[in-house]
């Protein structure tokens, strides 16, 4: 390692593995990477976390201010350290960051910051992996865990005329607080959890008008019903037949969620779990239902193009908002790192996940690249244990 690289946590890795000259390298210092490193260390395997930013939990630090987990505190903790009760049931963004910092310290993880890995290749001797990193570093590890995150690179659609738009256009990744939009006309594009919550945040923060551009009508669920969290249902049904869960989901939706068709959000015509299997997680309500019912957030058609000060919608409507906030998702951006290894599918997702490694790339693990109905952090924790068990007994 370069002397310029800084470390977080203890400088002493697990004493059972001090002589290991080829550690397991974990790329990414978010929840998935830290959990994997902790689980490996607990099994006596030296794990070195490489984080390109200046500290752990970088992506969480950049999220908008009002963000809280949609999963419960109990089922969002990583292996070996519960989240403090004082964080409440729905943990805030800032407390997630505090927890990740404490987690690295508590488990004495070997975290090297300021190091960005650009490419992974097989080691020259065919045993292990060679990592090309910033500063001209060449690192060799017995195995690699890629945990660079589900929300890695903001995706902004290449709408026709986008570059001519005279209003403000930004991706949701750059949104922090509603204060700059008080008294303004704002169009939020995309009705996933991020778009829905930003729309509500803008209304509560004093925006003069908030419209929500919808391409595909989402499934909306209550975050909690009579004290029962939606995540608990997700855990219970995750292995049931898709058709069965779809039918149950339709019934529960009619009981718990009002029909918003007259307000521009009809019920979806495809099943909830069918959508999940395609990668679309339901929207957990944190105020959207009420805001739509009251006309404070107005659903409109999808965005088709821009023309100077106007946004043209799919139904031909022309809007002239002061600002457009695109909650249009992220790309995994794994191609430069591992695209040459044949381990990604046509959509750029790893062909193997968790404890499984691609047949052509033994010892190369991926975690955090699915969006499970049972909760991302819970599944990251489970993946970490499985990866550690596999890596600790396998010499790649």
Write the class of the CATH domain 6-152+332-393. Answer: alpha beta
Q: What is the CATH number of domain 155-326?
A: 3.50.50.60
Domain boundaries, the chain: 6-152+332-393, 155-326
Q: How far apart, in whole angstroms, are the C-alpha atoms of residue 259 and residue 95?
A: 35
Token digits for 224? 């909690």
| CA atoms of 235 and 295, how far apart (whole Å) | 34
> Would you state the pLDDT for residue 11?
39
Query: Would 6-152+332-393 and 155-326 be classified into the same CATH topology?
Result: yes
Spatial CA neighbour of 75 closest among 374, 314, 360, 324: 374
To the nearest 10°, report the CA torsion of 229, 234, 240, 241. Answer: 110
What is d(CA 27, CA 353) in angstroms, rounded to the nearest whole number? 15
pLDDT score for 10: 39
What radius of gyration do the chain's Cα atoms show?
22
User: pTM of this prediction?
Assistant: 0.89
Short-list 373, 376, 68, 96, CA closest to 230 = 373
| pLDDT per residue as tens, the chain (396 positions) | 333 344 444 333 343 444 367 899 999 999 999 999 999 999 999 999 999 999 999 999 999 999 999 999 999 999 999 999 999 999 999 999 999 999 999 999 999 999 999 999 999 888 899 999 999 999 999 999 999 988 888 999 999 999 999 999 999 999 999 999 999 999 999 999 999 999 999 999 999 999 999 999 999 999 998 889 999 999 999 889 999 999 999 998 999 999 999 999 999 999 999 998 887 889 999 999 999 999 999 999 999 999 999 999 999 999 999 999 999 999 989 999 999 999 999 999 999 999 999 999 999 999 999 888 899 999 999 999 999 999 998 765
Q: Tokens 């031909």 sit at which residue?
A: 316
């Amino acid at each position: 390692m370069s002397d310029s690289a800084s470390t977080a946590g203890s400088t002493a890795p697990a004493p059972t593995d001090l002589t290991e000259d080829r550690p397991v390298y974990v790329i990414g210092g978010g929840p998935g990477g830290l959990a994997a490193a902790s689980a490996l260390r607990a099994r006596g395997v030296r794990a070195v976390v490489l984080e390109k930013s200046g500290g752990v939990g970088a992506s969480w630090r950049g999220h908008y201010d009002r963000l809280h987990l949609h999963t419960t505190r109990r089922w969002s903790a990583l292996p070996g350290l519960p989240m403090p009760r004082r964080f409440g049931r729905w943990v805030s963004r800032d407390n997630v960051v505090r927890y990740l910092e404490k987690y690295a310290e508590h488990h004495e993880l070997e975290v090297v910051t300021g190091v960005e890995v650009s490419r992974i290749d097989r080691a020259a001797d065919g045993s292990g992996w060679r990592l090309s990193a910033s500063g001209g570093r060449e690192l060799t590890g017995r195995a690699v865990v890629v945990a660079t995150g589900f929300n890695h690179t903001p995706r902004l659609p290449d709408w026709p005329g986008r570059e001519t738009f005279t209003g403000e256009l930004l991706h949701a990744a750059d949104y922090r607080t509603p204060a700059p939009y008080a008294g303004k006309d704002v169009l939020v594009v995309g009705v996933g959890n991020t778009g829905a919550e930003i729309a509500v945040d803008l209304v509560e923060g004093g925006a003069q008008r908030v419209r929500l551009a919808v391409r595909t009508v989402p499934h909306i669920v209550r975050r909690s019903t009579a004290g029962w969290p939606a995540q608990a249902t997700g855990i219970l049904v995750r292995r049931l037949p898709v058709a069965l869960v779809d039918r149950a989901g339709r019934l529960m939706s009619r009981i718990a969620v009002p029909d918003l068709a007259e307000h521009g959000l009809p019920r979806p015509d495809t099943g909830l779990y069918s959508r999940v299997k395609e990668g679309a997680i339901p929207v957990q309500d944190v105020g959207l239902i009420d805001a739509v019912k009251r006309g404070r957030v107005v659903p409109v058609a999808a965005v088709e193009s821009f023309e100077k000060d106007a946004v043209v919608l799919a139904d031909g409507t022309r809007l002239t908002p002061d600002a457009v906030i695109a909650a249009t998702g992220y790309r995994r951006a794994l191609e430069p790192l591992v695209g040459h290894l044949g381990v990604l599918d046509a959509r750029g997702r790893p062909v193997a996940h968790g404890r499984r490694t691609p047949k052509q790339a033994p010892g190369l693990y991926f975690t955090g690249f699915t969006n499970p109905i049972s909760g991302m952090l819970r599944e990251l924790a489970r993946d970490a244990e499985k990866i550690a068990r596999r890596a600790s007994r396998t010499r790649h």
